[in-house]
Structure 1
Amino acid sequence: MADEAIAVFTARSPQRILREGGSQAWALNAARARKAKYLICVQNQNNPDRDFSDATGPHGSVILIGKISDVIPAPERADEDRWMICFDEFAYLQPQVDPVDVWQGWRNPVRYTTLAEMGVTPDGLVWEDAEKFRDEQLAPKHSGSPQASATLDDGSVPPLTIAQAKQGLAAFFDLEPEAIEIVIRG
């Protein structure tokens, strides 16, 4: 089918998914996922772990669609047989036509489906190049772009000032540095 898709129920924001180079870390059938043409990201606002979740869209709504380019071991949890669904082009849906309440309470957060079943029509979608939104430090290695390293040769993290830490965290969570509070307990 031309509109084969894989839908994921994600607690991450579209901005974070774009920065990371795809949606991760899913337990799925990688061979089957690679056959799908589209990734449909549906927002999950119910994840209580605020360090993990930065959800911004309405619960149960389609927040992002990507044209799948690869399915690779998830950099975040590579040791756990988890997968990252990468895409090279993406589209935001228009607010007036966004499919809402598309997640029907399925137990598994990964669903093999079609665009039509999820209420998405590809006509009129404006596709953008996902590469320009990637954070080179977070992007998957398969992208062919050089990876910046935040670690020293011995594997340790270099010392940071509070201002540097706030800037890095703000960029990661798509916030202003003033919104970051750091508490140090000694």
Structure 2
Amino acid sequence: MNVVSVLTYKSVEHMLRDGGSQAWRADRRRLRRATYVVTARHARGPYKSEGPEAHKHAFLVGKITEVVDADIDGEAHDPDEKPRNKIMFTEYALIDGPELPLAGQNPVQYWDSLSDLNIDEAALNWQTAPEPVVLSPMDRAKEIVAQAHGVSADRVDITIRF
């Protein structure tokens, strides 16, 4: 197993800002053995898609550098539950498809190679990802509200009265 694929509603810009793709319930040992993460559009989930790609179509390949605990909306981790995972990458390549041959409903699936997904590794144009952005608590709150209502964060104002 060399590749993990994930279905995500998040855009390329969102993942680059976060430093990777998150927050996945998956076996961390299996994720860490993978060399590549392939992100595909999840256009039929509970969150509004942030990209134009068709459902199940791949749009980014990342070279996995690390798998860490995901920060889920700044919430404390439930000690009785395994933490979700953030798949980090510092190099990525944008692709236009293909539709992934996914089996079942799990948004996280494993593959032996990129060729199993009809992706030509030699044709990938690798780019260096920018440093992840660390959001202030207020900006993070705006992101959460924006996601819940399907709008961009710059459309959200939060007022605090004392």
* Deviation (angstroms), 1:104: 2.9
Q: Which residue of 2 aligns with 1:61?
A: 57
Q: Which residue among 32, 38, 41 is the counterpart of 1:40? A: 38
Alpha-carbon distance in 1 for matches of 2:64, 2:34: 7
Alpha-carbon distance in 2 for matches of 1:89, 1:40: 12
Normalised by the length of structure 2, the TM-score is 0.76
Q: Which residue among 8, 11, 22 is the counterpart of 2:9? A: 11
Deviation beyond 6 Å, 4+ runs, structure 1: none
* Deviation (angstroms), 1:92: 0.3
Unaligned 5+ runs, structure 1: 139-149, 152-156, 159-164
8 Å CA contact 2:65–2:89 kept in 1: the answer is yes
| 1:34-64 alpha-carbon deviations (Å, 9 max, x no partner) | 11100000111012333xx424322111010
Structure of higher CA gyration radius:
1
8 Å CA contact 1:90–1:127 kept in 2: the answer is yes
Q: How many residues align?
A: 146
Give SS of 1:116's match.
helix
Q: Which residue of 1 aligns with 2:115?
A: 116
* Deviation (angstroms), 1:174: 10
Task: Report the aligned-residue RMSD.
Answer: 3.1
Normalised by the length of structure 1, the TM-score is 0.67
* Deviation (angstroms), 1:123: 0.9
Q: Which residue of 1 aligns with 2:127?
A: 128
| Larger RCO (CA within 8 A; separation ≥ 6) | 2
Percent identity between the two aligned chains: 29
